Amino acid sequence: MHGLIFFYLRKFADLLSTGTSSHPGLRSTIVRSTTSYLPSAVYPDAEAVSLLQSIADSIGRPLPDTLGRFGEFLAPHLVKVAGASINPAWRTLDLIEHTESLIHSMVRAANPGAEPPVLETVRIGPDELQLVYNSPRRLCPLAKGLMRGMAIHYGESISIDEPSCVFRGDPFCSFVVRKKQGDTHAAQSPLAETIEFRTDEPRPQHADHARGFVGRPGLADDPMPDRIGDYMIRGLIGSGAMGRVYLAHDLRLDRSVAIKAMHPAKARDPAARQRFIRESRSAASVEHPHVITIHHVGEHEGLPYIVMHYLDGRTLASHHRAVGHLPLDESLRICREIAEGLAAAHRRGLVHRDIKPDNVFLDGDALTVRIIDFGLAREAGDDAAKLTADGSVVGTPAYMPPERIGDQPLDASGDIFGLGVILYELLADRLPFEGTSMVAMLAAISRGQPAPLREVAADVPAEIADFVMRLIAHDKRDRPGDAQAVAQQLAGLEHRYCRH
């Protein structure tokens, strides 16, 4: 655990021992025991838990309650420490949503050996988000306390529901966090000091507001540039969490290209900037007909950008929505080409980690597959594997392998699982794992009991249905060995069942 936590454990003990409810001996005990801990180092989890248990015993409160109180105390301090990385327009839910990226920039980047908890979030709306917490430490009471502390810091009122919890036998903890609007409420500090806040006061005007970064940064409209480097901008193609994609004209080679430029608000975060550069380098290192081609990586007015081959078509997700059920031969051909592109990436030691229909582009009249968005890609075995895309689940929930929900290392079999989910969806017109919320869907994946494809798509040949079920096997050891083998098996299925 990061030494910063030990630093604030001492401050927490100081406050408890000198506050209105004094606990004799607590301060001297904790201060003496923590004098060797440095804020910049990493220490065993057991030592932090032992100190927290000592505090709980000293004040006569259960450990979970003490964890929650410590979280409330800790959150405002961490907000101050992370000040340079926090967008001034953020409020409580924005900060919770981006906590994973802040953890990386503050902890993992400086201490590669640190193992903070995995936090996955999905923003349901301006006033609600869902969060999955997974850590062998099982410190979910601390996570709840941190969220309450963030609300105290911003003078807001939130409610926290916990649909699943490891202490109730669930595979992970999940929270539904909602902001309460327009009420006057009392925020309770860890030392029982009551502070009055109003949540309907106008928000302060920050410099970023004038640039369009209100609320969730990068999602508001910014002026479109006329030019990026040697490329004339013709129009906006799309926008995502990390940047915008423009249609541009290459003045030197007289051709159309697509440029993905990083959002200014994101570029201020060193961790996000690193992820953006990682995407460009990962994608540029793979040369294959079914992987997007990167022409150039550059920087314009301090913003990194990637120049890509311009694709004329639409994503597989859009295509499926537009045309409905796809024929068997087209479904197999598309997934074979995905597998071939993945095999090329895997040969370079890269795992995509976010294979889904939105990241599969169908180019031109032939609908040729091009795998796009290597923003989550990593080198196999890389210690930086927990890099995430800000404000989004690492891998869209419906296509995430079960090992991603836990703390197991990811490898190429995770991409094979995502491919299997895509093929199941194309053949059955439904997902193998479904739920009314992110939490419910992740729980379904973690249970590993999808409806057999033959039960929901009786017209699919048994051999194909059995193959798809192997692709989405719960245990990755039961999936096909590699993407090239998957491509070859799909080619064989095409030959046997799709002769023209």
Which amino acids are annotated catalytic?
354
Using CA atoms, how far apart are residues 497 and 287, in angstroms rounded to an integer?
A: 30
Main-chain phi, psi angles of 271, to 5 degrees: -65, -40
Helix or strand holding residue 247 (H, E): strand 243-250
Q: Which residue has the tokens 């926090």?
A: 86
DSSP string, 474-489: SSGGGS-S-HHHHHHH
CA atoms within 13 A on the CB side of 229: 22
Using CA atoms, how far apart are residues 43 and 359, in angstroms rounded to an integer?
A: 39
CA atoms within 13 A on the CB side of 492: 9
Pair 341, 288: CB distance under 8 Å: yes
Helix or strand holding residue 163 (H, E): strand 157-164
Burial 17-38 (b: 16+ CB within 10 A, else e): beeeeebeebbebbeebbeebe
Q: Give residues with Cβ within 8 angstroms of 459, minimum separation 6.
A: none
Using CA atoms, how far apart are residues 43 and 107, in angstroms rounded to an integer?
A: 13
DSSP string, 1-13: -BHHHHHHHHHHH
Question: Is the backbone of residue 60 left (phi > 0), alpha (psi -120 to 50) or beta?
Answer: left
Using CA atoms, how far apart are residues 272 and 107, in angstroms rounded to an integer?
A: 14
